Amino acid sequence: MPSLLQLPLRAAWRSALTPLLLALLVWWVVAWPSLTAMTSIPSVPLRAAGGGSLQMPAIGYGVGTAWFNSGGDKSKELILSVQAALDTGFRHIDDAEMYRNEVACGQAIREWLSRSGTKREDLFITNKVYEVDRGCGAVCEEMAPLDCLFCSPLRFLIHSVCTRDGKPFKTSPREAWEQMMALAKTGKVKSIGVSNWRIADLESIKDLEIQPSCNQVEAHPFLQQVGLLQYCRKRDILVSCYGPQLPVTRNFIAGSPVEAPLLAAAERTGHTVGQVLLRWAYQTGRVPLTTSSKPERMKEYLAIFGFELTPEEVAAISTAGRRASQKRGFWQSCLDYYKEDPEMEPESQE
């Protein structure tokens, strides 16, 4: 039987521990979605410029579409959105010189690292040089406000082989790639790759010492570029894709051959059409890039690694997409340039 002295002590312990236990319970409920997201995102091997490979998260958070050339309130929104994405579990951030928002993005990452205690090397940052005529190395140095640029497993890409007006740069793809190789040899970047390159462009550098780690292109069921995907696989060039959910945001789906298999897969799995599109991209061998300013959407996107499409569902979506008209959402001004490569013409959907 407890003594009269022990009873007040036990009551005091209970009074002290109860708020602490409640605080821990609240923290666990709030943190659980982020913790599960962080532990469930797979990674994919990516060729390192100096030999060997890096591990890249199999989904990335893009900061270009909604925050292009951001300033003022848009910069504040970008900072909050990037930090929310990192809180949710994203560890792969995709930025570019063209977006003109590297200062805000860098601020978001620095503040989040300080708050979370996460190491910079635990983040994977992709950046892209657009103005290759100014020199890839010079542009890379100018993007230093991102701060984590040279301190993370960085993937640095050539953004395009033509200008936004659809005209070729004065610097040829081969010359630009030689500049990227020189940059890689300084050790400032750990992986170099390309974006929006055609097979013809990749062929022009296949004899050089360092080969691209990846080719980042637009991809979804309405723009599959199967020939390009197969070519990259043979060359051990990872394909990452932007715009994987474009069929939803641009309303390509309604009335198209893709509508039925997409809706059927969404109903069977109990997930949204947007999640099914991301999962289709992942299961067809691509690393999808997505974006949102809403934390609930971010959690939804990371949840794609908690379910699978059947091989039959993947095939049905792919087949239906190849029967539909090809639709390109970005770089419309470069259509004539892309059509010079037979593997990127609409007929290549079949």
Residue ranges per domain, the chain? 42-338
Q: What is the pLDDT of residue 266?
A: 97
The mean pLDDT of the chain is 81
Active site residue 92: no
Active site residue 130: no
Q: What is the pLDDT of residue 31?
A: 46
Bin 115: left if φ > 0, else alpha if -120 < ψ < 50, else beta. Answer: alpha
CATH class belonging to 42-338:
alpha beta
pTM: 0.82
Reading the block at residue 100, the tokens are 């003109």
Q: Mapped to the 3 state alphabet, what secondary structure does the chain carry?
A: CCCCCHHHHHHHHHHHHHHHHHHHHHHHHHHHHHHHHHHHCCEEEEECCCCCEEEEECCEEECCCCCCCCCCHHHHHHHHHHHHHHHHCCCEEECCHHHCCHHHHHHHHHHHHHHHCCCHHHCEEEEEECCHHHCHHHHHHHCHHHCHHHCCCEEEEECCCECCCCCECCCCHHHHHHHHHHHHHCCCCCEEEEECCCHHHHHCCCCCCCCCCEEEEECECCECCHHHHHHHHHCCCEEEEECCCHHHHCCCCCCCCCHHHHHHHHHHHCCCHHHHHHHHHHHCCEEEEECCCCHHHHHHHHHHHHCCCCHHHHHHHHHHHHHCCCCCCCCHHHHHHHHCCHHHCHHHHC
CB 281 within 8 A of CB 244: yes
Q: What are the beta bridge partners of residue 192?
A: 156
Q: What is the pLDDT of residue 151?
A: 46
Q: What is the pLDDT of residue 96?
A: 80
Report which of 234, 166, 156 is spatially closest to residue 202, judged by C-alpha positions.
234
| Torsion, Cα of 146, 149, 155, 156 (10° steps) | 70
Report which of 180, 6, 8, 216 is spatially closest to residue 95, judged by C-alpha positions.
216
Residue 262 Cα distances to 42, 241, 258, angstroms:
24, 19, 6
Q: Are strands 238-242 and 286-290 parallel, antiparallel or unpaired?
A: parallel
Catalytic, out of 92, 159, 220, 271: 159
Q: What is the pLDDT of residue 69?
A: 56
Q: What is the pLDDT of residue 237?
A: 97
Q: What is the pLDDT of residue 337?
A: 61
Catalytic, out of 61, 99, 231, 338: 99
Q: Which residues of the chain have pLDDT under 70?
A: 1-39, 65-72, 137-154, 157, 159, 162-165, 329-350
Report which of 346, 36, 336, 344 is spatially closest to residue 162, judged by C-alpha positions.
336
Residue 67 Cα distances to 9, 80, 178, 298, angstroms:
58, 12, 31, 16
**Span 276-299, pLDDT tens digits:** 999 999 999 999 999 999 999 999
Q: What is the pLDDT of residue 184?
A: 87
Q: What is the pLDDT of residue 29?
A: 43
CB 148 within 8 A of CB 120: yes
